[in-house]
Amino acid sequence: MRRMSSPTRTQSTDARKRLRLELRARRRALPAGERIAAAQSLAAHLLALPFSPTTGHVAGYWAMDGEIALHAWQLALPAAVTYCLPVLHDEGSLRFAPWRPGSPLKANAYGIPEPDVAAADLLTPRQLQMVVTPLVGFDADGHRLGMGAAWYDRSFGFRQQSSGPPWLVGAAFAQQQVEALPVAPWDVTLDAICTEHATHLVNGAGPA
**CATH architecture, domain 7-201:** 3-Layer(aba) Sandwich (3.40)
Please provide the average confidence, as pLDDT, over all residues in the chain. 88
Which residues, 6+ apart, have CB-to-CB distance to 184 below 8 Å?
12
List, in sequence order, every beta strand (DSSP E) within the chain.
Answer: 56-59, 81-88, 94-98, 105-107, 113-115, 130-133, 137-138, 144-145, 167-171, 192-194, 199-201
The Cα–Cα gap between 58 and 130 comes to: 5
Cis omega (within 30 of 0) on the bond before 166? yes
List, in sequence order, every beta strand (DSSP E) within 113-207.
Answer: 113-115, 130-133, 137-138, 144-145, 167-171, 192-194, 199-201
Instruction: Quickly state the pLDDT bin for 5 (edges 50, 70, 90).
Output: very low
Give me the pLDDT at residue 146, please.
81
pLDDT at 173 over 90: yes
Q: Are 83 and 107 in contact (CB under 8 A)?
A: no
SS3 track for 47-78: HCCCCCCCCEEEECCCCCCCCCCCHHHHHHCC
Q: Are 63 and 69 in contact (CB under 8 A)?
A: yes
Count how many Cα atoms sit within 13 Å of the Cα of residue 19 in the half-sphere of its side chain: 25
Q: Are 64 and 150 in contact (CB under 8 A)?
A: no
Angstrom CA distances, 189 to 26, 78, 79, 192, stand at 23, 27, 29, 9
The Cα–Cα gap between 34 and 12 comes to: 33
pLDDT tens, residue by residue, 107-151: 998 899 999 998 888 999 999 999 999 999 998 888 988 887 788
pLDDT tens, residue by residue, 28-51: 888 888 999 999 999 999 999 999
Instruction: Quickly state the pLDDT bin for 12 (edges 50, 70, 90).
Output: low
pLDDT tens, residue by residue, 86-108: 999 887 889 999 999 989 999 99
Instruction: Quickly state the pLDDT bin for 162 (edges 50, 70, 90).
Output: confident
The Cα–Cα gap between 162 and 175 comes to: 30
pTM for the structure as a whole:
0.87
Cis omega (within 30 of 0) on the bond before 182? no
